[in-house]
């Protein structure tokens, strides 16, 4: 069964291989991403979602609150398309509950890949408007 929850301390070490794969894919230092994900365990403005298929971690997403109405997605990785959609759905629903209006993200690969998830690409910056809790 596939589930998505917030990162727990006990899941951190099992998440490291996916963080390294994300770093390789984006051609960025893994330490930068590891630092951010570990920071989400103790900093309120950061959080990481972890996607599991049974007990195996198969995806994750990380980001931070820019201000009271904007959230920046900084990392999302899964080789499982269904898990990517589950992570996106959980992110959206959580941010709507926090009254976030816009999600911002940067993309290195072809931005058209993300359009099916509701992103509007502006150069290399992506934004996604969220409905309010009342919608």
Prediction pTM value? 0.84
Q: How far apart are CA 71 and CA 20, in angstroms?
A: 23
Q: What percentage of the chain reaches a pLDDT higher than 70?
A: 91
Which of the four pLDDT bands, split at 50, 70 and 90, describes residue 61?
Answer: very high
Sorted by where each begins, the domain ranges of the chain are 2-129
Classify residue 135 by its DSSP letter: -
pLDDT tens-digit map of 74-97? 999 999 999 999 999 999 999 999
Q: Which long-range contacts does 60-67 make (Cβ < 8 Å, 24+ apart)?
A: 60/7, 60/15, 60/18, 60/19, 60/87, 61/87, 61/88, 61/91, 62/33, 62/36, 62/37, 63/91, 63/103, 63/105, 64/36, 65/98, 65/100, 66/104
CATH topology of domain 2-129: Aminopeptidase (3.40.630)
Q: What percentage of the chain reaches a pLDDT higher than 90?
A: 75
Mean pLDDT for 24-48 is 94
pLDDT at 110: 65
pLDDT at 93: 96
pLDDT at 123: 54
Strand partners, 105: 73, 126
């Amino acid at each position: 069964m596939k589930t998505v929850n917030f990162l727990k301390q006990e899941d951190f070490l099992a998440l490291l291989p996916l963080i390294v794969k994300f770093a390789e894919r984006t051609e960025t230092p893994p330490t930068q991403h590891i630092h951010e994900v570990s920071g989400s365990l103790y900093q309120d403005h950061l959080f990481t979602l972890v996607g599991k298929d049974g007990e195996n971690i198969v995806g994750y997403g990380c980001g931070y609150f820019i201000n009271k109405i904007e959230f920046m997605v900084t990392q999302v990785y899964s080789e499982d398309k269904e898990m990517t959609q589950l992570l996106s759905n959980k992110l959206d629903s959580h941010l709507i509950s926090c009254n976030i209006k816009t999600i911002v993200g940067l993309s290195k690969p072809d931005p058209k890949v993300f359009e099916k998830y509701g992103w509007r690409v502006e150069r290399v910056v992506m934004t996604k408007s969220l409905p309010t809790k009342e919608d």
